[in-house]
Structure 1
């Protein structure tokens, strides 16, 4: 019976896939081990996988055993290793973000991206909080952005119908600016 990380193994070719192989250190150890392995012609790395091209008759079970000794995470369940890697990346990302935050700076998604590292005046701080993921006047930044977009569009329409040319043009420019930004930020989702 083959280990769970072996996706397929046929004569001269085998694919190994496991979240432990996404780690740079583990890849280096696997490469060092497989480079010296007799019968292995080539090793190709994927995002979480290895493709082994071997000579016919190579003892693949022995190669797997040596890999398991070198990288013990291969024996752990895939979900457990994946969640551990995800938690590690989150902690590294959180530590990286903590180093970039300044007092009063608004960063993150939505409204915070628009402001960048701009310092918020003290009279506006009650309305804009946290790192861009906080609340703006009691609602999330994304909802605030969409409601502002709809409000500017409505004001533009109403001013156009009422005959207020100056207000119509100003509201139209505000709507166009907000709509352009909305499309730019979400361009990959479109």
Structure 2
């Protein structure tokens, strides 16, 4: 006689049990002891052929994420005014104001006067190249350059604070030259 181990016996019962029980099904309602088998579901090809063809509209393009969405949410939570000012951009590894930067500072100064803003924070930033320590110093120099130019324009009622985030709090999070240029900047934040 063949001796089966308990786990082998359980395995055989698991496989053969349903077959055995299917043969012992009650014969009420069936003819001749044959069990009724349910109809097979249609194959995938048959379902596709039978389904009416409908044009599914393309999903809408996702809205672009604003470059400063995180920054703006943080500012709104702290109660700072949300008046957008153009950023003052700088060349790589420079803190000298370019011609377009001078124009941006002048435009921002006019908007500060027109809106009677008395307090502003200048946030100096850098791209991701270089060490954090170096970029903190460079960001501060950029912000101080903008502050000195604002003072030379004769805005007397304005209190200007300066901070540097270096490369640690970028305005643009992508890793490409366009984004790096946006991060080499001084950003105006209105405080009241």
TM-score by shorter chain over 0.5: no
Question: Which structure carries more relative contact order (alpha carbon 8 Å, separation 6+)?
Answer: 2
TM-score of the superposed pair, with normalisation by structure 2? 0.21
Structure ID, larger Rg = 2
Pick the structure with more helix per residue: 1
